[in-house]
Structure 1
Amino acid sequence: MPPSSLRVVYAFAREMHPKTTDVFIEYGTAGFRTKASLLEHVVYRMGLLAVIRSRVKNGRTIGIMITASHNLEPDNGVKLIDPEGEMLEQSWEEIATRLANVSDNDLEATTVEVIKQVNADMGLKASVFIGMDTRYTSPRLAAAAVHGVMALKGTAKEFGIVTTPILHYCVRCRNDNTYGTPTEEGYYEKIVGAFKNIRAKLPVHGSYNTTLYVDGANGVGGKKLNIIRKSLDGELDLVLYNLGGNGGKLNLNCGADFVKVSQTPPVGVEHAPFQRVASLDGDGDRLVYYYLDDKCNKMHLLDGDKIATLLASYVTELLKACEATDLKLGLVQTAYANGASTKYITEDLKVPVSCVKTGVKHLHHAAQSYDIGVYFEANGHGTVLYSDKAKTTIRRIAQEGEPEQRKAAQLLLNFIDMTNETVGDAISDLFLVETVLCARGQNVKEWMEAYTDLPCRQLKVTVQDRNAISTADAERRCTAPEGLQSRIDELVAAYKSGRSFVRPSGTEDVVRVYAEADTQENADKLAAQVSQAVFDLAGGVGDRPLA
C-alpha cells in the first residue's frame, strides 16, 4: 500500500473521528480505559493498528473489544486481542500509545512510520473481529473501530454485544480451527456442551444443590447466561438477577468488583441464609462467589483465591487418579492474593506458587511455564492453561489406561473443553466451579472451610501523579517515593499477620492500597494508616487520603 493511499487515514480522522482533547492516554493493563467521551479518536486509531498487526501476523485475525469491564457506565475502553486469543504483545503497547496520542495532522505520517517499524506487508489481507459490551457508548466506538479497519483496507467482522471472553475465544478459533468454531454459538456448544457431558458422569450427591443465584452486574454476562440456562436440562438451575432492566446501572453497587472490594452483597439480589451466589462483572471476565450467614447480616466471600485453590486441588486429584505423574501443575498469583491462600496451596496442596505483577498478561505468561497452569487474580479473573504435552498425555490415558485411569482422564478432558484457555472467563469459570462442587458433593460453606482467609481491606488514594509510585518484587515492595516503603514496614510491624503494599492502578488514576491482618478491625486500621502515608509522601489530592 503506497503512502499516497494512506490519505484516507487522515480524511476519516478529520471528518468523522477528530482528536478533540489533549489528554494523554496510555495503553495499560487492560488497554485504553477512560471516560467514553475521550475515546472515539483512540478507537478509530486502534482499528488502524489492528489491521497493521494482522498483516504482521500474515493475515491472521486480530480482535478489538470495546469495554471498560468492571468500571462504571460513563467509562469505556478498547483493547486488542492477539491471534491465540491472548492480550496484545507487550512491545506493541508503546506503539498503540504513540498512535493514540499524535495529532490528526501527524496521524498519516505516524501510521507510515509504524508500518515501516514493524515491517508490515500492506499487500496482505487483514482480518479484524470487533465486539462490544452493553454500554450506551459502545456502538459509536465500535463504528469508529470499523472505520479504522476500512481506512487501511482490512476486513472487519462485527460480533455485536458479547462478553470479552467470547471475543477472545472467537479470535483463537478463527486462527486455530482445532480449538472450536469462531462464533458465539460455537462457544456455547463447546463450553456448555462439555459441562453437560461431565455432569452426566457426576451424580448430584452430598450437600450440593443445583440451584445457583447469579448477580449479572447489569452487564453482558448475565444476558448470555439467560440464553444458556434454557439449554442446561436441569443440570444447573440458574436464578438470575441484575440483568440490566428496572433501571439497574452497569456495575453500580453490583457485580464482582463491587462485591470483592466493598465486601458487601450487591443490590438487587434476594438472599436467604447460606444461599450460593455468583457475581460476574460487567463484561463477563471476572467471577466471585459469596453467601450470607444464618441471620443474613454477614457476607462470606469466595474470591479468585478460593476459586483457584478449588480448581487446582480438583485437577490435582484427577491427575493422581490418572497416574499422570510426569505433568507439572503450578498456580500463579499476584500480591493481592490472600496470605492464607498461599500458605494453603504450598503446605496443604503441595502445589508450587509463582507471584507476578498485577495484570492478566503477567499471570497468563507465567502459567505457560507449567504443564498445567492455574492463574487467578484475587478479583476473580483467571483460568487454567493446559500445554500440548498435558493434553496429549491425558488423551492417551483416556484411551489406553486402566479403567479407573481412563475414567479420571475422560473427566479431565471434559474439564479442559469447559475451560476458556484464552483469558479469564466468568461463564466458563462458573461451570468449572459448579463441576467441582458437584463432584465433591459440597455446599458453599464446606468450600469456604478449606482454609480461612486473613481479613483484608482495599482502599484507593487520589494523588497528583500515580506514576510517582514505583514498585519491585511483583509489586510487593515500593521503591519510590523515598521513605514510603520504610513507613509501610513500620506500620505493618505493629499488627499480627500484618501485610500491606501499594501500587499505581493500571485502570484508574489512583494509587491502590492493600492490607491484611489478624482481625478485620486491624486490617481496616492498617489500610487507613498506609493510605495516609501514601497521601503524605506521594502528593495526595484534597484534604483527606481516602478516595
Structure 2
Amino acid sequence: MDPEALKKYSALHPKPAGLSLQYGTAGFRTRAEQLDHVMFRMGLLAVLRSRAVGATIGVMVTASHNPEEDNGVKLIDPLGEMLHPSWEEYATQLANAEEQELQQVITEICQKAAVNQHKDASVFVGRDTRPSSEKLSQSVIDGISVLGGQYHDYGLVTTPQLHYMVCCQNTQGQYGKATLEGYYEKLSKAFTELIKQCPSSGESQRRLKIDCANGIGALKLSEMKPYFPKEVLIHLYNDGTKEKLNHLCGADFVKVHQEPPRGIDMKPNERCCSFDGDADRIVYYYKDAAGRFHLIDGDKIATLISIFLKELLGKVEQPLKMAVVQTAYANGSSTRYLEETLKVPVHCVKTGVKHLHHKAQEFDVGVYFEANGHGTVLFSKAAESKIRQLAREEKDDKKREAAKVLEHMIDLINQTVGDAISDMLVIEAILALKGLTVQQWDAIYTDLPNRLLKVQVADRRVIATGDAERRALTPAGLQEELDGLVGKYRLARAFVRPSGTEDVVRVYAEADAQGRENADALAHEVSLAVYNLAGGKGAPPQPI
C-alpha cells in the first residue's frame, strides 16, 4: 500500500462531513451525490476481500428499485453470493472513516481478516443505467487501482449477471463462461431444450409483455432476443427511452400498489410481468375479463416452481430432500398450500435475501422467494451430480427423461442470486410444459387479503422480535395485545418489525374475508397497538 497515493486519491473522493452510512442487505444505498467516497472505498475493500479469499470479487453499482436519483453499491463474494456478514462490518467502518483515519482502518482490516497485501487481487465491476452510475463506477475503479488490484469493467449489466460472472470466474468455467454471451447462450440453450418438449400451443401461450422498469433489463433482454427460439414472443415496455427509472413502473411499484405499471396496455387474461431496476426481482399479473387486476407475486412463483420440481423428483425416484424457504411476509395461503396440499416442508427465516439463501443451502433442492419477487432455486452439489448422472446413464426411459428436464432446469436457473431474466424463462418453460394459462396458475390457491402499514415511532429499537420476526419480544405486553386482536378474525395473522432504514415499525396483517375489510381492520388495530405501546409519533393511525 502506497500511503501517499492513497492520500492523494482519497482527497479526490472526499467524505461529506457528518455523513454516516450502514452496509445492509442491499449494501449501501442513498442519494447518488453522497456516494462518491463510498464507491472509492468499496473499490479498496473489494481488493482486500479478494486478497483475503484468493478469488475474484464483484462490485455492482445499483440502487435496484429505488428512484433514479438514488444509487448504491453491493459487493459479491466468490461463488456469486452476497458479501460475508463479517465483512459488512468492515464495509461500514471503511465508508464512515474520516480521511486521516483511512490508512489506519485499512491496516486494522488487514490484521483482523489476515489479508496478505502482497497477493494478487481481481475485481469485476458492473453498473445499472442510472445517470450517476458511470461516474460512481469510475470511483470504484480508482479505489481498486490505488491498492494495485486488477479489474474487469463489464459496464452495463444486470445485478444477477455480475453475480453469475463472478461465480463462473471462480469455478474455472464449471458454472459457465464469464461473459455476457456465455450467460445468454447457457440460459437460452437450456430454455430451448425445455420448450422443445412442449405440446404445441397457440401463439398467445408464448406471448409475454414485460415491463422493464425503464432499467437495465430492457437493454439486456434486447441483446438476448436473438438467442431465443422464434416461438417466444416477448414485447418490452418501459424500456428506458422515454421515462425515468422505476417511475410508476417496475416490480416494486406493481407489488406495493397492486396495480399495472404505467406504459403497458393490458388486454383481458394477457400474461404480463415486471422487472425491477436492476432486474433481480420479477412479479407477474393479468386483468380478468371483468377488468380486475390480479397480482402473481413471489409466493405464487415459488409454488409453481415447487409443484413442477416435486413432480420431476417423484419421477426420478431419488431420495432428494426438497424444501421451500419463506419470510413472515409470505401469504398464509401459500404456506398452507405448500405444507398441506403439496406436502413440501416450509421454513420461515428473517427478512432479507441472505437469510433465505443461507437456509436454502441446507437442502438437496431449496426453493426460496420473497413475496416481492426476489428468489431462486438452489441444488446441492450432490443432487446436481446425481441428476446429471441419471440424465446420461438411467436405463428407464421415463426416469431418464425426467432427469433431463431437471438438468435443463439446473442450467436455466441462476443459482447465485434471484434473477428476473432467468426466473422469467423458468416460469415460461413451466407454464408451456404444463399447458397452464396465467389464470390457471393464479387459481392454484387464493391469497388471503393482506395489508402492509408503517407506524412512525420515536425509536424503532424499542421493538425486538423473535421466531423469524413473527413475534414481538419487546415492548412488554405488545405480543399479548396482538394475539388478542388476531384471535378476533378467521385465518388471521399479524406481525410487526422495526424497519432497517427509517424510524418506523412495519405492520403486516392478513385475514380471511370476501373483501379486504377484515385485513384492513386488523392492520389498523395492530398499528394502534404499536403506536400506544411503542411510543408513536405524530397523529395516531387512522382507520383504512
Question: Shared topology, TM-score over 0.5?
Answer: yes
Q: Which amino acid aligns with 1:193?
A: K
Moved more, 172-181 or 508-517: 508-517
Alignment of 1:396-435 (within 5 A): 396-401=389-394, 402-435=396-429
Distance 2:353 2:7 in 1: 34
Corresponding residue of 2:266:
271
Amino acid in structure 1 at the alignment position of 2:530 = V
| Structure 2 CA distance for partners of 1:33 and 1:465, relative to 1, 3 Å | farther
| Inter-CA distance 72–204: structure 2 relative to 1 (3 Å threshold) | farther
Greater shift, 463-472 or 374-383, is seen at 463-472
Q: Report what 1:12 is aligned to.
A: 9
Judge conservation of contact 1:21–1:38 (CA < 8 Å) in 2. no
TM-score after normalising by structure 2: 0.95
Return the alpha-carbon distance in structure 2 between the equivalents of residues 462 and 48 of structure 1: 37
- Residue of 227, 233, 237 corresponding to 1:237: 233
For the structure 1 residues 128 and 502, does the alpha-carbon distance in structure 2 shift closer, same or farther, using more than 3 Å as the test? same
CA contact (8 A) 2:460 2:498 kept: yes
> What displacement does 1:186 show?
1.1
% identity of equivalent residues: 53
Tell me if structure 2 keeps the 8 A contact 1:459–1:527.
Answer: yes
Cα displacement (A) at 1:541: 4.2
SS of aligned partner of 1:266: coil
Per-residue CA distance 1:443-492 (angstroms, 9 max, x = gap):
00000111111111122334344333321110111223334333322322
Q: Distance in 2 between matches of 1:106 and 1:327?
A: 52
Give 3-state SS (helix, strand or coil) of 2:447's partner: coil
- Pair 1:160-2:155 in alignment: yes
Aligned residue in 2 for 1:484: 478
Partner residue in 2 for 1:79: 74
The match for 2:512 is 518
1:328 alignment partner, one of 321, 331, 346: 321
Return 280-289 or 501-510, whichever deviates more. 501-510
| Residue identity opposite 2:8 in structure 1 | A
Q: Report whether the alignment pairs 1:200 with 2:225.
A: no
TM-score (norm 1): 0.95
Q: Pick closer, same or farther for the CA change 1:545–1:250 going to 2, 3 Å.
A: farther
Q: Which runs of 5+ in 2 are unaligned?
A: none
Q: 1:350 to 1:282 in 2, by over 3 A?
A: same
Question: Contact 1:30/1:506 (CA < 8 Å) preserved in 2?
Answer: no
Taking the aligned partners of 2:41 and 2:250, their CA distance within structure 1 comes to: 31
Q: Check the 8 A contact 2:199/2:435 in 1, yes or no.
A: no
Q: 8 Å contact 2:211–2:274 — kept in the other structure? A: yes
Over residues 329-367 of structure 1, what are the superposed CA-to-partner deviations in whole Å (9 max), with x where a residue is unaligned?
Answer: 111111011111011101111111111011111111100
In structure 2, distance between residues paired with 1:26 and 1:135? 22
User: Aligned partners of 1:471, 1:7: CA distance in 2, in Å?
Assistant: 47
More moved, 44-53 vs 533-542:
533-542
Distance in 2 between residues matched to 1:45 and 1:463, nearest whole Å: 33
Matched AA of 1:354: H
**Aligned partners of 1:206, 1:450: CA distance in 2, in Å?**
22
Q: Which among 44, 49, 54 is matched to residue 50 of structure 2?
A: 54
Paired AA for residue 155 in structure 1: Q
- Would the aligned equivalents of 2:184 and 2:227 in 1 still touch at CA under 8 Å? no
The amino acid across from 2:231 in the alignment is E
Q: Which moved more, 1:422-431 or 1:206-215?
A: 206-215
- CA drift of 1:146 comes to 0.8
The residue number in structure 2 matching 1:222 is: 218
Q: Measure how far apart 1:543 and its partner are.
A: 3.4
The residue type paired with residue 405 of structure 1 is: K
Query: Could you say if the C-alpha distance between residues 477 and 41 of structure 1 is closer, same or farther in structure 2, counting changes exceeding 3 Å?
Result: same
Q: Distance in 2 between matches of 1:127 and 1:250?
A: 31
C-alpha distance in structure 2 between counterparts of 1:488 and 1:161, whole Å: 47
1:444 aligned residue: 438
Q: Taking structure 1 as reference, are residues 385 and 208 closer, same or farther at Cα in structure 2, changes over 3 Å only?
A: farther
| Residue aligning to 1:178 | 174
Pairwise CA distance, 1:515: 1.2
Aligned residue among 107, 115, 138 for 1:112: 107
TM superposition shift of 1:544: 5.3
C-alpha distance in structure 2 between counterparts of 1:268 and 1:544, whole Å:
37
8 Å Cα contact 1:241/1:269 also seen in 2: yes
Q: What is the distance in 1 between the residues matched to 2:7 and 2:541? A: 44
Deviation at 1:503, TM superposition (A): 1.7
Structure 1 residues 180, 453: CA separation in 2 closer, same or farther (over 3 Å shift)? same
Other structure's SS at 2:46 match: helix
Structure 1: gaps (5+ residues): none
Query: Which secondary structure state, in structure 2, belongs to the residue aligned with residue 306 of structure 1?
Result: helix
Task: Letter of the 1:391 partner, please give it.
Answer: E
2:312 corresponds to 1:315 = no
> How far is 1:293 from its partner?
1.5
Distance 2:405 2:281 in 1: 25
